[in-house]
Chains A and B, each alone.
Chain A
Amino acid sequence: MKLKTTLVLGTALVALAVPAMAQDYGSFDGYTLRVKLIGGAQYEPLYAEIPKWEAATGAKVEIVSSKNHFELDKEIKQDIAAGTLDWCVGSNHTSFAPQYGEIYTDLTGLIAPEVIADFVPLMIQHSTVDGRLVQLPRHSDVSNFFYQKSLYEDAEKQAAFKTTYGYDLAPPETWAQVKDQAIFFSNPPDFYGFQFVGKDEAITGRFYEMLVANGGAMFDENWVPTFNSAEGVASLQFFVDLYAAKAVPAGVPNYTWDDTGLGFGSGSIAMDLDWGGWSSYFNDPANSKVAGNVGVIRAPKGTAGKRTGWSGSHSFSITESCDNKPAAASFLTFLTSYDNQMVEARKGLLPTRSKVWEDAIAEFEAAGNTFSAETMKTFQASMSEDAFTPPLIAEWIEVSNALWPKLQAAIVGDMTAADALNEAQADAAEIMKDAGYN
């Protein structure tokens, strides 16, 4: 009897859920859509929604691969090499997309224009490579500035800072102020003013956004690398000086995202430039020693008056070889729909639809969660005004691999900032030349 009741109830719920979907996703009865999706705890809640699309369209989704992005990247490259692109939808990323050439189809025309119009225009622009919209952004990332509020409210520290530096101690507006404050707050090995990710593409990205904020550029209009300019040297010198002053932990050249997130949560770092995804962790008393003491502001400005805003979006793409592009387009529309972006926004991920930003903030405010609402507002402003991607060229990762070991060499004192950048510039120029740019 109980089983019967459950069955009836279950059927009724499915029946209720299907007409409740605002969008018509079409009918693809009996079709199996093969997909490769990025896996991991923060990405899974969205995939729990997939049965709704299956119920609405009659299609089945077969997840043929679910791996972290770096593993997925390797697998996709192997698929390209082996000619086994026998799947339709793949997770993508704005930084990775240019390397895949033309394996992904242009979504313009496949995705309804009114759907695309609901996205933040800058995010659609970042998803476009060589004039082709090769991906639909799922959620975005940009770094903003977290700090321990209590440090700025301490009268003794305020007075001491003013005496030494001649201006008031307040959350920094420029990177020059960050440097002063980082050195001021540091008391190694117990407490550090700042920290940064120091290896792989992470340090390339940090250097790149500082370069842009200081008025420099990675390449000139002919794709000749120009990051060894005076602005480049000044940008790298920022990291070198902080390291030499012991204002950052000695291990930073080996830090990646988990190290900086856990470091700030440990309460022994004053300021941290980090992704929005960490905000709920930072303010969670069960995990973080700075819970209730976290301030967040937009990333500071460089010498050119521009804020750092290295950004990227996780996204979905459709393969050119897909045998049922309308079904794949319907699936993409579903995965990035308003409802599903709300699901991800509630978990702290940054949406790409304009309305989801507004509604998620309103939802946090209504629930009295002022920290999350403030964080969301800060990230909304930086996503729409400060965010910029790395150069969208296939050689970006290769250039990054030529650059980051040299950045590290300067940071740990093996060579000067100018020498490091000159050497990296020569290597990067060769890469660009090999790729036929100049």
Chain B
Amino acid sequence: MIRALTTRRTEMAPFLLLLPAVATMLFVVALPLIFSLWTSLTPYKLTKPNTLYDFIGLTNYVRIFGDWDFWEAFLRTIGFLTVALNVEFALGLGIALLINKITWGQRGLRTIMMFPMMFSPILVGFQFKFLFNDHIGVVNNALQSLGLTNRAIPWLVDAKLAMFSITLAEVWMSTSIFAILLLAGLFAMPRDPLEAAKVDGCNAWQVFRHITLPFLMPFAYIAMAIRSLDVARAYDLVAVMTDGGPAGRTELLWTLIARVGYDEAKMGQANAMAYVSTILSILFTWYFYRKLVAARRYMGGAE
């Protein structure tokens, strides 16, 4: 009898030890999620707290599913995410490879490389907004002074250029995250396969293509998973540079959600939008984790 009790107590121990962690997770993650899910089923307005108790079913969801402005912002966010992540990866890889080659001053360069990450996105937004000002901005003035153009290029207004300008600011700010993570991968890379490849007569491109890059891909996918969550939440930078305009040309999910939730105080509808947008984040995270597992399997690592 005593033995059975002791066994049960031993069996319970892991669960009891996990209880504080589970309770904390429930409190800080599950509870807000359930609360925001509930608000998305109500006409909740911040300025009218009583609306929190009016259940309206899926009305908010039906409304946003039929709202083309929302879907445009949704698709634009996917496009922005795809372009920004790929460019950041390509540039980050290039920078990491170059810094890896340096033997003197590498630490200093690594620190300098992290400078853009130290600025708040709001400051970066203001900086690029003024750089790209069509009339008094540095970019247009430089182009005109160099005789490359005689017109004022509307960087933040033109349908294509506006998204390009925002992407450029985003890339400037965040490429170093990729560079740092990929550099860490390069540092961790064993020398043996590289030397073996050289002995076998592989050229530099073949070494890079078949050894270095596959080894780095797990690092790249981790960076992409993290960055995809960041970029999908892009708000400050875009809010400062264009605030989704003009005429919705640079509207992303979170500029739209913040406007509906705070300016208009319609938190119920904003939460419905936010719930749909989390699908996007889940899809991207799932995709990158699948790629990560595949890349590790390719390298013969543990799954």
Given the interface contacts A250-B152, A254-B156, A397-B264, does A100 sit within 8 Å of B47 by beta carbon? Answer: yes
Check A357 for interface membership: any CB of B closer than 8 A: no
For A434, the closest partner residue in chain B by CB is B43
Check B246 for interface membership: any CB of A closer than 8 A: yes
Closest Cβ–Cβ distance, residue B144 to chain A (whole Å): 7
For A406, the closest partner residue in chain B by CB is B247
Report yes or no: A199 in contact with B245, Cβ–Cβ below 8 A. Answer: yes
Check B303 for interface membership: any CB of A closer than 8 A: no
Contact pattern, B 169-183, Cβ under 8 Å of A = 1, otherwise 0: 000000000000000
Report yes or no: B46 in contact with A249, Cβ–Cβ below 8 A. Answer: no
Docked pose: A250 CA to B156 CA in angstroms: 9
Given the complex, which residues of A lie within 8 Å of B259, measured CB to CB? 401
Report yes or no: A251 in contact with B133, Cβ–Cβ below 8 A. Answer: yes
Report yes or no: B144 in contact with A189, Cβ–Cβ below 8 A. Answer: yes
Residues of B with Cβ closer than 8 Å to A?
A: 46-49, 129, 133-136, 140, 144, 150-157, 162, 241-248, 259, 262-267
User: Which of A192, A249, A266, A404 has the most chain B CB atoms inside 10 A of its CB?
Assistant: A249
Docked pose: A83 CA to B49 CA in angstroms: 8
Contact pattern, A 10-51, Cβ under 8 Å of B = 1, otherwise 0: 000000000000000000000000000000000000000000
Docked pose: A412 CA to B157 CA in angstroms: 8
User: Which of B46, B129, B246, B264 has the most chain A CB atoms inside 10 A of its CB?
Assistant: B246
Given the complex, which residues of A lie within 8 Å of B155, measured CB to CB? 251
Report yes or no: B154 in contact with A250, Cβ–Cβ below 8 A. Answer: yes
Check A386 for interface membership: any CB of B closer than 8 A: no
Check A99 for interface membership: any CB of B closer than 8 A: yes
Given the interface contacts A253-B247, A405-B248, does A77 sit within 8 Å of B47 by beta carbon? Answer: yes
Report yes or no: A81 in contact with B267, Cβ–Cβ below 8 A. Answer: yes
Check A80 for interface membership: any CB of B closer than 8 A: yes
Closest Cβ–Cβ distance, residue A436 to chain B (whole Å): 11
Check A408 for interface membership: any CB of B closer than 8 A: yes
Report yes or no: A249 in contact with B135, Cβ–Cβ below 8 A. Answer: yes
Docked pose: A99 CA to B241 CA in angstroms: 27
Report yes or no: A74 in contact with B245, Cβ–Cβ below 8 A. Answer: no
Closest Cβ–Cβ distance, residue A420 to chain B (whole Å): 9
Q: Is the interface of A mostly helix, strand, loop or mixed?
A: helix
Docked pose: A405 CA to B244 CA in angstroms: 9
Given the complex, which residues of B lie within 8 Å of A192, measured CB to CB? 135
Question: CB within 8 A of B46: which of A77, A199, A200, A401?
Answer: A77
Closest Cβ–Cβ distance, residue A72 to chain B (whole Å): 12
Contact pattern, A 393-408, Cβ under 8 Å of B = 1, otherwise 0: 0100110010011101
Given the complex, which residues of A lie within 8 Å of B267, measured CB to CB? 81
Closest Cβ–Cβ distance, residue B142 to chain A (whole Å): 13
A-B pairs with beta carbons under 8 Å apart, 28 shown:
A73-B262, A77-B46, A80-B47, A81-B267, A99-B265, A100-B47, A189-B140, A189-B144, A189-B150, A198-B246, A199-B242, A251-B155, A251-B157, A253-B157, A254-B157, A254-B245, A254-B246, A259-B133, A266-B135, A266-B136, A268-B136, A397-B263, A397-B264, A408-B245, A408-B246, A411-B247, A412-B247, A414-B247
Question: CB within 8 A of B264: which of A251, A263, A401?
Answer: A401
Question: CB within 8 A of B135: which of A99, A198, A200, A263?
Answer: A263
Docked pose: A329 CA to B257 CA in angstroms: 37
Given the complex, which residues of B lie within 8 Å of A189, measured CB to CB? 134-135, 140, 144, 150-152
Report yes or no: A78 in contact with B245, Cβ–Cβ below 8 A. Answer: no
For B51, the closest partner residue in chain A by CB is A81
Contact pattern, A 86-103, Cβ under 8 Å of B = 1, otherwise 0: 000000000000011100
Closest Cβ–Cβ distance, residue B183 to chain A (whole Å): 36
Report yes or no: A101 in contact with B48, Cβ–Cβ below 8 A. Answer: yes
Report yes or no: A78 in contact with B46, Cβ–Cβ below 8 A. Answer: yes
Given the complex, which residues of B lie within 8 Å of A412, measured CB to CB? 157, 246-247
Closest Cβ–Cβ distance, residue B171 to chain A (whole Å): 20
Given the complex, which residues of B lie within 8 Å of A291, measured CB to CB? none
Total A residues in contact with B, Cβ cutoff 8 Å: 40
Check A285 for interface membership: any CB of B closer than 8 A: no
Docked pose: A256 CA to B259 CA in angstroms: 17
Report yes or no: A251 in contact with B135, Cβ–Cβ below 8 A. Answer: yes
User: Which of A188, A253, A406, A411 has the most chain B CB atoms inside 10 A of its CB?
Assistant: A253
Contact pattern, A 49-80, Cβ under 8 Å of B = 1, otherwise 0: 00000000000000000000000011001101
Given the complex, which residues of A lie within 8 Å of B47, measured CB to CB? 77, 80-81, 99-101, 394
Contact pattern, A 208-247, Cβ under 8 Å of B = 1, otherwise 0: 0000000000000000000000000000000000000000
Contact pattern, A 238-280, Cβ under 8 Å of B = 1, otherwise 0: 0000000000011111100001001100101000000000000
Chain A, range 400-429, C-beta contacts under 8 Å to B: 401, 404-406, 408-409, 411-412, 414
For A262, the closest partner residue in chain B by CB is B136
Docked pose: A189 CA to B140 CA in angstroms: 10
Given the complex, which residues of A lie within 8 Å of B157, measured CB to CB? 250-254, 412
Given the complex, which residues of A lie within 8 Å of B243, measured CB to CB? 199-200
Docked pose: A101 CA to B51 CA in angstroms: 14
Given the complex, which residues of A lie within 8 Å of B264, measured CB to CB? 397-398, 401
Report yes or no: A251 in contact with B152, Cβ–Cβ below 8 A. Answer: yes
Docked pose: A197 CA to B87 CA in angstroms: 33
Docked pose: A78 CA to B47 CA in angstroms: 8
Docked pose: A253 CA to B155 CA in angstroms: 11
Report yes or no: A80 in contact with B136, Cβ–Cβ below 8 A. Answer: no
Docked pose: A412 CA to B155 CA in angstroms: 13
Report yes or no: A268 in contact with B247, Cβ–Cβ below 8 A. Answer: no
Given the interface contacts A77-B262, A401-B259, A408-B246, does A249 sit within 8 Å of B134 by beta carbon? Answer: yes
Query: In the complex, given contacts A250-B135, A401-B264, A414-B247, what are 6 additional A-B residue pairs having Cβ atoms less than 8 angstroms apart?
Result: A74-B262, A198-B245, A394-B47, A398-B264, A409-B247, A412-B246
Report yes or no: B246 in contact with A249, Cβ–Cβ below 8 A. Answer: no
Question: CB within 8 A of B136: which of A263, A398, A409?
Answer: A263
Closest Cβ–Cβ distance, residue B250 to chain A (whole Å): 9
Given the complex, which residues of A lie within 8 Å of B245, measured CB to CB? 198-199, 253-254, 404-405, 408
Given the interface contacts A199-B246, A268-B135, A405-B248, does A251 sit within 8 Å of B262 by beta carbon? Answer: no
For B165, the closest partner residue in chain A by CB is A254
Docked pose: A157 CA to B261 CA in angstroms: 51
Docked pose: A191 CA to B245 CA in angstroms: 25
Docked pose: A73 CA to B261 CA in angstroms: 12
Closest Cβ–Cβ distance, residue A244 to chain B (whole Å): 13
For A71, the closest partner residue in chain B by CB is B262
Docked pose: A253 CA to B161 CA in angstroms: 14
Report yes or no: B247 in contact with A405, Cβ–Cβ below 8 A. Answer: yes
Closest Cβ–Cβ distance, residue A322 to chain B (whole Å): 19
